Amino acid sequence: MNKTKRSRMAITGALVVALVLFGAFYNDDYILHVGVLVMMNIVLGCSLRLINLSGQLSLAHGGFVTLGAYTSAVLLTKAGVPSTWLALLVSGLLAAVIAILIGIPFTRLKGIYFTMVGIFFVQVIILTVQQWRSMTGGNGGLQGVPRPDSFLGLEFASKTSFYFLALVLMLVSLLILWAIEHSRVGMTFQGIKQADSLAESVGVNTTVYKVAAFAIGGFFAGLMGGFYVQYVTAVDPTVFGFLPTIYMLIYVIVGGEGSFIGPIIGAALLTVLPEVARPLKSWMPLLFAAILMAIIFLMPEGLVGLPHRVARLFRKRTKEQPDAAG
Amino acid sequence: MLQVEGLTKNFGGLTAVGSVDMGIRPGELVGLIGPNGAGKTTFFNLVTGYLRPSAGRVTFEGKNITGKKPHHVAGRGMVRSFQQDNVFAEFSALDNLIMAAHLHSGVSFWQSILKTPASRHREMDIRQKAEETLELVGIGDLADSPAGSLAHGHKRMLGIGLALMCQPKLLMLDEPLAGMNVSEVDDTLALVRKLWEGGLTILLIEHNMRAAMSVCERFFVLSFGRKIAEGTPDEIRSNPEVVKAYLGTAADVA
């Protein structure tokens, strides 16, 4: 194991320990709630980035979250599924299946056309849950969704317990997404993004890989939807509509699409920001747009590039100093 | 090995390739030449599945592959190189070749994600194969350079390396010499000859007739989408049709 790899693992380990200690000793319900949202958004950002990795800019993500949320809600309140954990898993799997079904015809669309299909998908999902009143409760949504069943004697009622559940879900999700990205499959995704005709020429069935990326991303979006609805115990059609989907993309771009930690940083900062700047709440979309534009113009590689830029700035300074002295 | 019958491609009213017949036998080194715009690259795209033919039939090793997808064609052992976008620009040269081992990695989707011991072992083998291939195409010292930053000639060589990693039966090179300087041309021709002598069947598209003449044993000549001649270098050189289509313009210069 080389040095950078070891230090990276040490930093990751330290962060995880910090998150655990934070949850164990910090008892403010509101702060823990923000923590849960941060971890959920991190998974959404990272799973969206995985789809982008294969060269597809998806704006369908909110649709999969909505789908996952309603899947769990309907299964638990209407269908009488006995286990919340089963419902959670089905939330992810159903989203993945739907992603495969719409992916097969639409991933062959390139660039902006694929992106537009995503936008339509979000709208179709919203319209469906609005209109299918007997199943989804229409505009009023569904309430009274049960909280997760106790697991190995752990009860899920307090904010602290949800904080830890979110932490576990996030860590497992990130581990899987990381493993995919750093495997031959992840390499193939990136190859398709760089030159899809060339990837075809070396025998890659690009449709299969694009659909796979879309489905894996959709799975985690659905999973987070299922988790969300079991956490807040209610859902309505527009919680994960168009604007939240755009926010997910902003997490990725602001944090930095080029690296795994990019969306983690982006989601963390941009989830905390609206809470810190509560009085500006109605201005948030404008603020997000301003941040996005600033990043695109000033730091196209995202916030992950900040240390590098600062370091370069300092190097330049120290190099200029002898001249100034002379 | 490769059999093409009546291959035709119409773009609207324009016939880019018109009922072309040709055949390649195992172990041959065949040149496909013709002036600019003769339809050479279109022909290539038709045979390798990048374009769907309007009419005609492509058979590879006795199997009809007309209109099959490029990845399917590559899986059959017919692998092409590209003129443009010929490398994965953001990968290192070595990673380009590792990526190109897709077909023969022997590592399944799940194995690769779970990083099973068997897949790790296979990836080690692939890495070694990639290093050897990099040496073979003459850029062994550039393994860690990002492919996008390589010099043009090195990119073209890497492009050939990518095709080789697919373990082709028939290697199809699309103008590998275009834009190369004299010494790079010599190196590339030497590589082509070496691969051929190693038992590989090669179809070489070339605009540079003299260079192609120095390695290929048999030629097809395209002009305005039609095959106008076929034969040995001597037959081609003395064919009046070819002289008119190809050298006619050159004669003005002379």
The pLDDT value given to residue A51? 96
Given a cut of 90, whether residue A267 has pLDDT beyond it is yes
Q: Which residues of A touch B81 (CB under 8 A)?
A: 201
Distance from CA of A184 to the nearest CA of B (A): 6
- What's the distance, CA B252 to chain centroid? 31
Task: Round the average pLDDT of chain B to a whole number and report it.
Answer: 89
The pLDDT value given to residue B251? 45
Q: Which residues of B touch A205 (CB under 8 A)?
A: 69, 71
Given a cut of 60, whether residue A198 has pLDDT beyond it is yes
Nearest to A201 among B74, B90, B112 (CB): B74
Q: Which residue has the higher pLDDT, A184 or A150?
A: A184
Task: Could you please state the CATH topology (level 3) that the domain comprising A3-325 is classified under.
Answer: ABC transporter involved in vitamin B12 uptake, BtuC (1.10.3470)
Q: Residue A128 — pLDDT band, cuts 50, 70, 90? A: very high
Q: Is B206 helix (H, G, I), strand (E, B) or coil?
A: strand
Q: Are A142 and A70 in contact (CB under 8 A)?
A: yes
Q: Which residues of B touch A202 (CB under 8 A)?
A: 74, 79, 99-100, 102-103, 162-163, 165-166
Q: Span A233-262, mean pLDDT?
A: 92
Q: Which two tokens stand for residue B24?
A: 């390649």
Given a cut of 80, whether residue A107 has pLDDT beyond it is yes
Q: Which residues of A touch B69 (CB under 8 A)?
A: 200, 205
The pLDDT value given to residue A326? 39
Distance from CA of B249 to the nearest CA of A (A): 34
Distance from CA of A241 to the nearest CA of B (A): 32
b/e for B108-128, b at 16 or more Cβ within 10 A? eeebbbeeeeebeebbeebee
Given a cut of 70, whether residue A304 has pLDDT beyond it is yes
What are the residue ranges spanned by the domains of chain A? 3-325
The pLDDT value given to residue A40? 97
Distance from CA of A216 to the nearest CA of B (A): 12
Q: Do B70 and A201 touch (CB under 8 A)?
A: yes
Distance from CA of B69 to the nearest CA of A (A): 8
Q: Do A212 and B109 touch (CB under 8 A)?
A: yes
DSSP secondary structure of B65-115 = -TT--HHHHHHHTEEE--SSS-S-TTSBHHHHHHHHGGGG----HHHHHHT
Q: Do A202 and B100 touch (CB under 8 A)?
A: yes
Which stretch of A127-131, A181-185, A200-204, B178-182 has the lowest confidence by average pLDDT? B178-182
The pLDDT value given to residue B248? 59
Q: Residue B168 — pLDDT band, cuts 50, 70, 90? A: very high
Task: Round the average pLDDT of chain A to a whole number and report it.
Answer: 91
Q: Give CA–CA dist A249/A244, Å, rounded.
A: 9
Q: Which residues of A touch B91 (CB under 8 A)?
A: 187, 190-191, 194
Q: Do A179 and B115 touch (CB under 8 A)?
A: yes
Q: Do B163 and A205 touch (CB under 8 A)?
A: no
Q: Is B216 helix (H, G, I), strand (E, B) or coil?
A: coil
- Apex CA A299: angle with CA A293 and CA A304, to 5°? 115
Q: Give CA–CA dist A225/A237, Å, rounded.
A: 12
Q: Which residue has the higher pLDDT, A220 or A137?
A: A220
Q: Could you count the other beta carbons within 10 Å of the beta carbon of residue A123?
A: 14
The pLDDT value given to residue A325? 45
The ipTM, to two decimals, is 0.90
Nearest to B115 among A183, A194, A199 (CB): A183
Q: Residue A322 — pLDDT band, cuts 50, 70, 90? A: low
Distance from CA of B242 to the nearest CA of A (A): 32
- What residues have CB less than 8 Å from A66, skipping those under 6 apart? A122, A125, A126, A129, A225, A235, A237, A239, A240, A241
Q: Span B148-165, mean pLDDT?
A: 94
Q: Give CA–CA dist B178/B200, Å, rounded.
A: 22
Q: Give CA–CA dist B43/B119, Å, rounded.
A: 38
The CATH number fitting domain B2-253, selected from 3.40.718.10, 3.40.50.2300, 3.40.1260.20, 3.40.50.300: 3.40.50.300
Selection from A264, A219, A272 nearest residue A65 by Cα: A219
Q: Which residues of A touch B103 (CB under 8 A)?
A: 202-203
Q: Which residues of B touch A199 (CB under 8 A)?
A: 88, 99, 102
Q: Do A198 and B86 touch (CB under 8 A)?
A: yes
Q: Do B162 and A202 touch (CB under 8 A)?
A: yes
The pLDDT value given to residue B145? 94
The pLDDT value given to residue A324? 46
The full 3-state SS of B150-203, as one line of letters, equals CCHHHHHHHHHHHHHHCCCCEEEEECCCCCCCHHHHHHHHHHHHHHHHCCCEEE
Q: Which residues of B touch A204 (CB under 8 A)?
A: 71, 102
The pLDDT value given to residue A215? 97
Q: Could you count the other beta carbons within 10 Å of the beta carbon of residue A254?
A: 27
Q: Span B99-113, mean pLDDT?
A: 86
The pLDDT value given to residue A152? 80
Nearest to B82 among A187, A198, A203 (CB): A198
B222 strand-pairing partners: B227
Q: Which residue has the higher pLDDT, A154 or B176?
A: B176
Given a cut of 70, whether residue A56 has pLDDT beyond it is yes
Q: Give CA–CA dist A89/A148, Å, rounded.
A: 12
Q: Give CA–CA dist A71/A142, Å, rounded.
A: 11
Interface A–B counts its CB contacts (< 8 A) at 87
Q: Residue B253 — pLDDT band, cuts 50, 70, 90? A: very low
Laid out side by side, the sheet with B2-11 consists of B14-24, B2-11, B55-60, B63-64
Q: Span B1-28, mean pLDDT?
A: 90
Q: Which residues of B touch A200 (CB under 8 A)?
A: 50, 69-71, 74
Nearest to A184 among B80, B87, B107 (CB): B107
The pLDDT value given to residue B107? 81
Q: Which two tokens stand for residue A163?
A: 């904080």
Percent of chain B with pLDDT over 70: 96
Q: Give CA–CA dist B8/A314, Å, rounded.
A: 63
What are the residue ranges spanned by the domains of chain B? 2-253
Long-range contacts of A120-124 (CB under 8 A, 24+ apart): A121/A60, A121/A63, A122/A59, A122/A60, A122/A62, A122/A63, A122/A66, A122/A241, A122/A242, A122/A245, A123/A242, A124/A63
Q: Which residue has the higher pLDDT, B252 or B87?
A: B87
Q: Do B103 and A180 touch (CB under 8 A)?
A: no
Phi-psi category of residue B61: left, alpha or beta, with phi > 0 → left and psi -120 to 50 → alpha: left
Q: Do B163 and A197 touch (CB under 8 A)?
A: no
Q: Span B71-95, mean pLDDT?
A: 93
DSSP secondary structure of B11-77 = ETTEEEEEEEEEEE-TT-EEEEE-STTSSHHHHHHHHTTSS--SEEEEEETTEE-TT--HHHHHHHT
Q: Span A161-180, mean pLDDT?
A: 95
The pLDDT value given to residue B207? 82
Query: Which site among A52, A108, A198 would you substitute to test the B interface, given the most B Cβ atoms closer than 10 Å to its Cβ?
Result: A198
Given a cut of 50, whether residue B64 has pLDDT beyond it is yes
- What residues have CB less than 8 Å from A73, skipping those under 6 apart? A136, A142, A145, A229, A235
Nearest residue of B to residue A194, measured between CA atoms? B88
Query: Which site among B72, B98, B99 would you substitute to test the A interface, given the most A Cβ atoms closer than 10 Å to its Cβ?
Result: B99
Percent of chain A with pLDDT over 70: 97
Given a cut of 70, whether residue B163 has pLDDT beyond it is yes
B226-249, pLDDT tens digit by residue?
888 888 888 888 888 887 877 655
Q: Is B138 helix (H, G, I), strand (E, B) or coil?
A: coil
